[in-house]
Amino acid sequence: MELLSSTKVSGGWLKRYRHESLSVKGDMVFAIFLPAQAESANVPVLYWLSGLTCTDENFSQKAGAFKKAAELGLAIVMPDTSPRGTDYPGEHESYDFGSGAGFYVNATVAPYSNTYHMYDYVVKELPTLVEEHFPVTDKRSISGHSMGGHGALICALKNPGRYQSVSAFAPITNPTQCPWGEKAFTGYLGDDREAWKAWDTCELIATASERLPLLVDQGEADNFLEEQLKPEALEQACEKAGHELTLRRQSGYDHSYFFISSFIDDHLAHHAKALGL
């Protein structure tokens, strides 16, 4: 790994690294916050997945999460949102597909199937790397925003026993039934809508073998609420399956990091409790 930067914050350290990824067949950048407690003992990890157009830096610069994480003794790992360095036809033409929009799936349609394996990267490769090189335990939790909220939910649902807890801010809950998801899944997974269901939270909840309680915050002034995010679909799926869901509708809040920063401490506390902190 190549250390790109190291910054002291809240008594701990925020470090950014570049490394060669086997999952995406190219270089990836991620950031990790290590609280002061990590200097004397291994600490558990929260994996944060960001949304459309983002990199690892959006959360680290805007979420205001490190003071609370430092108090709890919680490390936070922040990966990028998609592979970089490729130049496929159409990859850079829109904000909601290709660059910055990996959707945390394993693409099956060429040419994206060559490198767009963000699911494998987030679930398998990155945690293995982090646990090998940093003072962390194998106790993990996962959270994210928007496209990253979708990613956090499907990663937890598809991997029983791998995460201690899961949460999301304004997640794309039902991507098989919204424009963002339909565009991305067609490009990454092809036209078979049945295959899409393996990457849809509302579909996965019905057959989930593990019932981690879901904590979701959703701003009621979110511009994407009705067309893209569909929290009511998540409510219906959870009610039908008997899956515990705490869905907090936050009056006046939009889709931005102002919203995330207002409630991030609650999410960190949710994960800390599950992680035994």
CA 107/CA 242 separation, integer angstroms: 31
Q: pLDDT class for 213, splitting at 50, 70, 90?
A: very high
| Residue pointed to by tokens 């909840």 | 205
Which pLDDT score, from 0 to 100, does residue 147 have? 98
Which pLDDT score, from 0 to 100, does residue 224 have? 97
Which pLDDT score, from 0 to 100, does residue 175 have? 98
Which pLDDT score, from 0 to 100, does residue 201 have? 98
pLDDT mean across residues, the chain: 97
Q: Which residues of 58-97 are buried (b: 16+ CB within 10 A; e: fewer)?
A: bbbeebebbebbbbbbbbbbbbbbbbeebebeebeeeebb
Which pLDDT score, from 0 to 100, does residue 122 have? 98
**pTM (2 decimals)?**
0.97
* Average pLDDT rounded to a whole number, residues 11-40: 97
Structure tokens at 270: 């949710």
Which pLDDT score, from 0 to 100, does residue 248 have? 98
Q: Nearest-CA neighbor of 181 among 215, 156, 209, 153?
A: 153
* Residue pLDDT, tens place only, 224-266: 999 999 999 999 999 999 999 999 999 999 999 999 999 999 9
Catalytically active residues are 146, 222, 255
Which pLDDT score, from 0 to 100, does residue 258 have? 98
Neighbours of 276 (CB within 10 A): 9
* Residue pLDDT, tens place only, 98-132: 999 999 999 999 999 999 999 999 999 999 999 99
Within 8 A by CB and 6+ apart from 75, the residues are 32, 33, 34, 35, 38, 43, 44, 45, 46, 69, 134, 136
Q: pLDDT class for 173, splitting at 50, 70, 90?
A: very high
* Residue pLDDT, tens place only, 46-105: 999 999 999 999 999 999 999 999 999 999 999 999 999 899 988 999 999 999 999 999
* Average pLDDT rounded to a whole number, residues 174-181: 98
Which pLDDT score, from 0 to 100, does residue 109 have? 97
Q: What type of residue sits at position 22?
A: L
Domains of the chain: 2-275 (3.40.50.1820)
Which pLDDT score, from 0 to 100, does residue 19 have? 98
